[in-house]
Structure 1
Amino acid sequence: MSSNWPLVPLYELTTKVGSGATPRGGKNVYNTDGTAFIRSQNVHDNEFSFDGLARITESAAKALDGVRVDTDDVLVCITGESVTRTSLVDPKALPARVSQHVAIVRADKERLEPRYLKAALLSPDIKGQLNSLSEAGATRRALTKAHLQNLRIPLPPLSEQKRIARVLGAIDELVNVNEQLASTMDELFHSIWTKLCTDVATPVAKLTLADFCTTQYGHTAPATSAETGVQMLRVTDINKQNWVEWEKVPFCQIDAVALSKYRLNRGDLLVARMADPGKSAMVERDVDAVFASYLVRLKPHRDEMSLYLFGFLKSSAFAEYAAGAMTGSVQKHMNAKVIAAAPITPPNAAVIAEFNRIATPIREQLATCISEAQRLRRTRAELLPLLLSGGIWVDDSMGPGAEGLEWA
């Protein structure tokens, strides 16, 4: 990335660069409350995740004072498959310490705006440099303290850094609004399912999923981020929320025969049989994609049953069944036969029709929110290198909150 700004190494712009540590006693000092212990699973690109956020005892936290996380610290994953993932710490996670798999990069705020630092580390050029460094001379990908300290980033004036951070932050806020609306739509969908489809005085019969759909195991192939072939839906793409973020789904190579066999269609249901058994998803739009081998496809006999069955797969009744039906002492799993044997008590056809009438526009609105969030992320990704290079700059001459973008 050519830049109109000087390139300055991070050791000149930070007050701390360093990785965390493992608490003495390991998982034995984990607690239900106390100081947060941030691990790589909590650090995603431009997003801090509270999923699986561990807590450690007061004594363990005191022993790790040297890896204390402060407000506005930038966190970078430095080992394994998550290497180079970068986010700001969420203030709600503080007080916190970090594991040895995560580095703290603390900006000198007199020279470097933390939100601008995060943006710089997420830019394609700098992330590419970090990925290359992480792959040099080792069997496991890793970044060292020296790699981060010597990394050179474009350094516009501090006032321009703050303006860039405001523009990108405004886009991030819009992404969050759309995702929150999607979550609200999802909650409404499941509330309606519970009210209409479980509070039924005269159910049709007590049947199983096998009475309503066929099952099929998925395709075995390596996944790649390179946009070649078709997308391949995996367990990790369906076990975080009740919809699929297709922009994050990787790709795979597949021949025409296998593609015909495993191609996903609108209305298909997927259930994880391994890795996170029982988690499920529904294909809610036309996609050029297949599904991976740890998933089982449920294909409804009738299209009008898809939404109802999706609600069932997300219900407490199916969760309880799955918890009791899983086998395996080391890795829990369920096969297709077990999944299809889940008991289900459907309402009559009139109730299903009424549910579809109400629920369909709700799921469509949810999909619109997710699509808008994805569009905004793409816009952010396109703007980021231009802003960091000085190719365009932020014009706030019209006053606070009225920034515009000008070409250099």
Structure 2
Amino acid sequence: MSFDCPIVKLGDYCTKIGSGATPKGGNSVYLDHGEISLIRSQNIYNEGFKSEGLVYITPEAAQKLKNVIIEPNDVLINITGDSVARVCLAPNEFLPARVNQHVAILRVDPEEFDHRYLRYFLTSTKMQNYLLTIASTGGTRNALTKSMLESLEVSKPSLDVQKRIGNVLENFESKIELNSRTNQTLEQMAQAIFKSWFVDFDPVKAKMNGEQPEGMDAATASLFPEKLVETDMGEIPEGWQLVPVGKLLSKTIGGDWGKEEPDAKHTEEVRIVRGTDIPKLHGGAIESVPVRYVEAKKLKTRKLERGDIVIEVSGGSKDQPTGRSLFISDNILKRLELPSEPASFCRRFQPVNYEVGLLLAVHFQLMYKAGKTWEYQNQSTGISNFQTTYFLEAEHVMVPSQEVLDAFVKQVSPMMDMIHSNQNIELAKLRDTLLPKLLSGEIELDTNER
């Protein structure tokens, strides 16, 4: 049974609706670190606030934006450009903060509205479609004006009902956030094991000193050599090899783009993995990965398989190098749902086997994290390209004995499976299914919020 609730104008229940401005001085007033952050459109997503690309401003610039000081529980909405209508809550951990001219602050009366309820209401599919529709009228660029926001019609159930809806949906997001943090920890653990074993050689050095390798059982420790030997590239464990990346691949091939619609030649429905999709797929999303149609003969050589690595080879900028990579696990293949190929600006690396693929995948993650892919950039006409041929010859990977490699895979493969699990996707789907039902009152919540 749906609840009866009034439809009100948002402006009647907001103590503030306002946007900021671009600080005078342009990029010169932006700081990498500071006390006062400037929240811009690229930080605001319906899934939540994203700190990537967050900048800080000088106290002098902040003073000139004193009319748009963000307070806890403010709702932030993008009001111009391609990201128009995206909504999130004020990020308490990054306050004090201001907003620029592309972002508006919605500050509701807490005696009338629950800020979480308003955020969920505005991110519902129905409201997002409406906001995008009105934003596209009257100009060459999408924009939501202050008057549009003030006159926006919003369902207003009782404050108690609003809070209960906010509690339920917030619990889903808390679980998703906890999973994400767990995944980050697992990723750091996998990278720490790789660095300890194959970069710092900690187990070998411990055995050389007559010690038991820290955190390692005796059976695993017995697999490691007991000394380092001198080579042209420095000291390495006895019996191990430094091998060029290219020697560890059975195939490398450029990507494809295909067609938006099928035709007589492009008959195969696929997912096309782009560079921009790599962090999203790794983090548990699929919506951004486009579905297109390709030729059967191209799919045959480019179809992604378990153990493959997709690497971005074009499209970098002065601030972000190419070289982002994605390890293709069983869970990633399940997530993609369709046969998949890398996009034109990516390449398929097919390692000689799954075990070597996992070794390379963690090596590539650490390499990108350390900024080493800058060494393989070729800047041209403002777009960075990855020097793949040079990379395959110049970048070396430590390859241990088969027994140590098997031990590494035994420890790290379950971590990768958990990182790439679809639990967050299922939680997000359930949240998105519940959202309209809760907002409409189709699902009623008792006092226990079952």
Same fold by TM-score, threshold 0.5 exceeded? yes
Indicate if the aligned counterparts of 1:42 and 1:53 stay in contact, CA closer than 8 A.
yes
Give me the whole-angstrom Cα distance separating, in 1, the residues matched to 2:138 and 2:269: 31
174 and 318 in structure 1: CA distance in 2 versus 1, 3 angstrom threshold: closer
Q: Quick one: distance in 2 between partners of 1:282 and 1:135?
A: 39
Q: Secondary structure at the match of 1:394?
A: coil
Q: CA deviation at 1:9?
A: 1.6
Structure number with larger C-alpha Rg: 2
In the TM superposition, 1:119-134 aligns within 5 A as 119-134=120-135
Return the alpha-carbon distance in structure 2 between the equivalents of residues 306 and 271 of structure 1.
12
Question: TM-score, length-normalised on structure 1?
Answer: 0.90
Specify the code of the residue in structure 1 equivalent to 2:254.
Answer: Y
* Mapped contact 1:271–1:281 kept (Cα < 8 A): yes
Alpha-carbon separation, structure 1, partners of 2:403 and 2:409: 10
Q: Does 2:378 match 1:332?
A: no
Residue 56 of structure 2 aligns with an amino acid whose one-letter code is R
Relative to 1, partners in 2 of residues 1:55 and 1:364: Cα closer, same or farther, differing over 3 Å? Answer: same
Give, in whole Å, the separation in 2 of the partners of 1:263 and 1:107.
51
The CA deviation string for residues 61-114 of structure 1, in whole angstroms up to 9 with x for no partner, is: 000111211111111112222111110011011110111111111112121110
**Could you tell me how far apart the structure 1 residues matched to 2:197 and 2:313 are?**
28
8 A contact 2:280–2:286 mirrored in 1: no
Distance 1:99 1:252, change over 3 A: same
Note the 1:54-133 alignment, pairs <5 A: 54-133=55-134
CA offset at residue 203 of structure 1?
5.3
- C-alpha distance 261-5 of structure 1, shift in aligned 2 (>3 A): farther
Deviation at 1:335, TM superposition (A): 3.4
Equivalent residue for 2:443? Answer: 392
Q: Which moved more, 1:326-335 or 1:76-85?
A: 326-335
Q: Which amino acid aligns with 2:359?
A: Y
Give the fraction of aligned pairs with identical amino acids, expressed as a percent.
30
SS in 2 for 1:322: helix
Shift of 1:182: 1.2
Displacement of 1:20 in angstroms is 1.7
Q: Which letter does structure 1 place at the counterpart of 2:55? A: A
Match of 2:415 among 336, 357, 362: 362
Letter in 2 for 1:201: P
Number of equivalences: 392
What SS is found at the alignment partner of 2:305? coil
CA distance in 2, matches of 1:42, 1:147: 22
- Matched with 2:137 is 136
Shift of 1:332: 2.5
Cα distance in 2 for residues equivalent to 1:13 and 1:38: 24
Q: Does structure 1 conserve the Cα–Cα contact (< 8 Å) formed by 2:307 and 2:353?
A: no
Runs of 5+ consecutive residues of structure 1 not aligned to the other structure: 397-401
How far 1:217 moved relative to its partner?
Answer: 1.6
2:305 maps to: 265
User: Over aligned residue pairs, what C-alpha RMSD do you find?
Assistant: 2.3
CA deviations on 1:189-240 (whole Å, 9 max, x unpaired) are 111112223325125333211101122221235889xxx9533222122247
Runs of 4 or more, structure 1, over 4 Å off, are: 221-224, 317-321
Name the CA shift for 1:177/1:298 in 2 (closer, same or farther; >3 Å): same
Change (3 A) 1:239 1:376: closer
Residue 290 of structure 2: aligned partner: 251
Contact 2:302 2:348 in 1 (8 A): no
Aligned residue for 2:255? 218
Alpha carbons 1:3, 1:154 under 8 Å: kept:
no
CA distance in 1, matches of 2:65, 2:369: 42
Higher mean C-alpha displacement, 72-81 vs 119-128: 72-81
Residue 278 of structure 2 is matched in structure 1 by: 238
CA distance in 2, matches of 1:101, 1:236: 23
8 Å contact from structure 2 (residues 78, 87) kept in 1: yes
Distance 2:88 2:176 in 1: 15
Normalised TM-score (structure 2): 0.82
For residues 368 and 16 of structure 2, the distance between their equivalents in structure 1, rounded to whole angstroms, comes to: 50
Say which is worse superposed, 56-65 or 290-299, in terms of deviation.
290-299
Whether the aligned pair in 2 keeps the contact of 1:186 and 1:363 (CA below 8 Å) is yes
